[in-house]
């Protein structure tokens, strides 16, 4: 009889322990508390409806996504998503890159502007304003009147400012490139290849959400998962070695041109300025 009671007690204790483990947290790190889970559940239904049922409300969807990722800690942890990349891929069904772009656009543009210009062009316009130090985009809304944004362009040899609706995609892209180069925080020609190589290597892995920043020809990284630190180091090393090989080959070609060596291409005469 005593044995039967003891077995029942052990089963009850085991079941209680299992319940406690399930209640601990829906994430592997077990860092989610009941309050965070409740906050996620309060947001999830509305966000899921915007994601799955109403694709027309771009600004409403990504403003809510911004609120989820801006929270400290991020609300998506309460839904069992390990990190930003996991949340993007499993819940939003998008790449982290696309989500970051769309959130940025939703912070600055209204529904009509998004419909008129499209997220990709608006992203470039926002980045241009940031590079020109005309705006700073943080958490929350940073409204911009995009119809009044002026883009520096060169037409028929003359530099001028044109309104964004009158500028072509290539003109906005070139204005952004020049603005980043001028402020020293853009992708310098010598650095851009290693950034692209890293982005390609990280794509499709939990490291896809890692932030790669370039400033004054120096790289910095953010949001590197500890569990993937070793693999991240390998990928960075591979990209760095490939970058050095290309840099050395480029310098060798330039030296040969300078010395007029065998196989060196003759220097082109500079084009006359108009």
Position 218 scores a pLDDT of 65
How far apart (Å, rounded) are the C-alpha atoms in residues 113 and 96? 23
Decide: 79 and 26 in contact? Cβ < 8 Å: yes
How far apart (Å, rounded) are the C-alpha atoms in residues 219 and 195? 8
Chain-wide mean pLDDT for the chain?
A: 77
pLDDT tens-digit map of 181-228: 766 544 444 445 666 677 777 777 777 777 776 655 567 777 788 888
pLDDT tens-digit map of 148-168: 999 999 888 788 999 999 999
Per-residue pLDDT of the chain (274 residues; tens, 9 = 90+): 555 555 555 555 555 445 554 444 444 344 558 888 988 998 888 898 888 765 567 888 899 999 999 888 899 999 999 899 999 999 998 899 999 999 999 999 998 999 899 999 999 999 999 998 898 888 888 999 999 999 999 888 788 999 999 999 889 999 998 888 766 544 444 445 666 677 777 777 777 777 776 655 567 777 788 888 888 888 888 877 877 777 677 666 656 654 554 444 444 544 554 4
How far apart (Å, rounded) are the C-alpha atoms in residues 211 and 113? 27
């Amino acid at each position: 009889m005593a044995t039967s009671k003891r077995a029942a007690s052990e089963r009850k204790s085991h079941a209680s322990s299992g319940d406690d483990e399930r209640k601990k947290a829906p994430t592997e790190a077990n860092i989610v508390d009941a309050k965070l889970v409740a906050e996620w559940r309060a947001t999830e239904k509305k966000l899921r409806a915007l994601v799955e049922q109403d694709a027309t409300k771009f600004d409403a969807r990504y403003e809510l996504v911004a609120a989820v990722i801006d929270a400290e800690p991020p609300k998506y942890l309460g839904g069992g998503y390990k990190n930003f990349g996991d949340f993007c891929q499993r819940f939003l069904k998008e790449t982290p890159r696309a989500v970051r772009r769309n959130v940025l656009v939703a912070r600055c543009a209204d529904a009509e502007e998004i419909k008129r210009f499209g997220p990709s062009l608006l992203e470039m316009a926002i980045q241009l304003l940031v590079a020109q130090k005309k705006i700073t985009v943080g958490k929350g809304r940073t409204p911009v009147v995009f119809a009044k944004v002026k883009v520096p362009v060169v037409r028929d040899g003359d530099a001028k400012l044109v309104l964004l609706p009158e500028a072509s995609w290539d003109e906005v892209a070139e204005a952004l490139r020049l603005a980043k180069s001028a402020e020293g925080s853009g992708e310098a020609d010598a650095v851009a290849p290693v950034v692209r190589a890293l982005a390609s290597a990280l794509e499709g892995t939990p490291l896809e959400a890692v932030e790669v920043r370039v400033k004054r020809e120096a790289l910095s990284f953010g949001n590197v998962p500890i569990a993937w630190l070793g693999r991240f180091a390998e990928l960075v090393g591979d990209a760095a070695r490939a970058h050095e090989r290309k840099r050395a080959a480029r310098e060798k070609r330039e030296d040969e041109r300078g010395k007029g060596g065998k196989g060196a291409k003759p220097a082109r005469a500079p084009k006359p300025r108009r």
